[in-house]
Amino acid sequence: MRHFLWICVLVACLALCASMASATVVLGGTAQTYIAQALQTLGVNYTDVNSMFVNPSGYGAGDTIIMSDDGGTDTPYDYTNFLNAGGHLIVAGGSNYDPYRAWVSNYFNITNTSNGWYTDGAWHKNGNYQPTQFMPTDFTFSNNSMSFHMLSFLPTPNTLLLGHDDEPADIAAIRAYGSNGGFFYYMAFDPGPYSNDPTDQNGWTVPFVKSALAAEVPEPSTLAMLGSSLLGLGIWRRRK
């Protein structure tokens, strides 16, 4: 019986390792330049898809789809099944296009959508959270266009708000999906076309990409508690 249990454990471990080894990273979007450079700096093998939205068909648990956008009007895909299966979706930037915002609102509670692209200064962590573990606590960009964004986030179920700008508005969030480790990580700042300064690239964009690729989502109960705490912090910041 003991030998049988050990065999079962060994088979499970081998299956897990095989799954991790076969995980795929796919890069899409309309402004990939400096996200691609960050992946190369980190030694990450990826497939480049020349489209604003990556078709999630054929991808699943452990696979990562990255989309870096600076405008665009393509029709989006529905990523819900991919996320619930354990897929990882990472988006940076966005599009000042109402159907794009409507797509994002299917996944997150968003605000600050009426002014188009605008900038509000530096990056600030909301806390020492695992999904931003390699990122600086505070960072002022050499190229201020890095901080362009066209939406920000409000508390959403199963979602952790990761960072804010000087407005202050929450401009980064991660939402957990299903029970297989799936998540949607959205960074509203726009490094894809604007991270041309080495200080910005090495000090912020590479750590962001590294953090997003290594992200793990907390349990829903933990997210709920953190969400309540951040809501109170957000109210305090706005009153301050």
Q: Provide CB contacts within 8 A for 74, sequence distance 6+.
A: 51, 52, 53
Tell me the β-bridge partners of 67: 28, 91
pLDDT band at 84 (very low <50, low <70, confident <90, very high): very high
Vertex 213 angle, CA 135 and 174, to 5°:
75
- Pairing outcome for strands 64-70 and 88-94: parallel
Element (DSSP H or E) covering residue 124: strand 123-125
- The tens digit of pLDDT for each residue in 18-68 reads 333 458 999 999 999 999 999 999 999 999 998 999 999 999 999 999 999
The interaxial angle of helices 33-41 and 206-213, nearest 10 deg, is 70
What pLDDT does 218 receive?
66
- For each of the domains in the chain, give its residue range(s) and CATH number, in order of start: 21-239 (3.40.50.880)
Q: Nearest 10 degrees: CA dihedral of 17, 88, 188, 162?
A: -70
Higher pLDDT residue, 35 or 239?
A: 35
Q: Residue 20 has what pLDDT?
A: 39
**Residue 213 CB partners (closer than 8 Å, separation 6+):** 25, 42, 44, 64, 90
What does 160-190 look like in DSSP terms, one character per residue? EEEEE-SS--EEEEEEEETTTTEEEEEE-S-
Neighbouring-strand partners of residue 172: 163, 187
173 backbone φψ class: left, alpha, beta (φ>0; ψ -120 to 50): beta
% of the chain surpassing 90 pLDDT: 75
